[in-house]
Amino acid sequence: MLSGRCECGKVRFEVETVSGTVTACHCTQCRRLSGHLWAVTHAPMAGLHFSHDESLAWYASSDFAKRGFCRSCGSNLFYRLNDEDEIAIAAGCLDAPTGLKLEKHIFVKDKGDYYEITDGLPQMQRF
């Protein structure tokens, strides 16, 4: 069981099982919304339980997906394909120790020009 929260604490949750790996997304949208790259782990929706969600809001970031964030502090917390039973959870909002490991980089074709990826992990042009 992992727990996590937004910066101000108005969104708090526990998640029963996660995929065990972390993916770093370098797409333009993630970079704009997060300020840099955005790293997530994945979990079944059914295993995600909120103890506080009064300031959780959803932004329809495309025709096929939405992003969950805290309306109060602005933390970027979730990404979910519409109607899919899985949710991506921002690794940065999970409480340590997570036991997770960064596994790969995706959408590297869209990465910023101000940094290099030097950790030797797989780099996908898309996903």
Is residue 10 a contact residue for Zn ion (CB under 5 A)?
yes
Q: What angle do CA 104, 16, 83 make, to 5 degrees?
A: 70
- Indicate which single residue of 6, 15, 87, 93 sits in contact with Zn ion (rule: CB under 5 A): 6
- Binding part of the chain for Zn ion, among 28-36, 41-49, 84-92, 119-127 by CB under 5 A, reads 28-36
- Binding part of the chain for Zn ion, among 14-22, 27-35, 39-47, 85-93 by CB under 5 A, reads 27-35
Closest CA to 67 of 49, 105, 46, 40: 40
Closer residue to Zn ion in complex, CB, 17/28: 28
Positive or negative, the Cα torsion across 106, 14, 68, 113? negative
Alpha-carbon span 40 to 57, nearest angstrom: 18
Is residue 2 a contact residue for Zn ion (CB under 5 A)?
no
- Binding part of the chain for Zn ion, among 2-10, 40-48, 61-69, 87-95 by CB under 5 A, reads 2-10
What phi and psi, each to the nearest 5 degrees, are found at residue 30? Answer: -65, -40
Is residue 73 a contact residue for Zn ion (CB under 5 A)?
yes
**Structure tokens that stand for 117 in this block:** 């990826």
Per CB under 5 A, residues contacting Zn ion are 6, 8, 10, 25, 27, 30, 70, 72-73
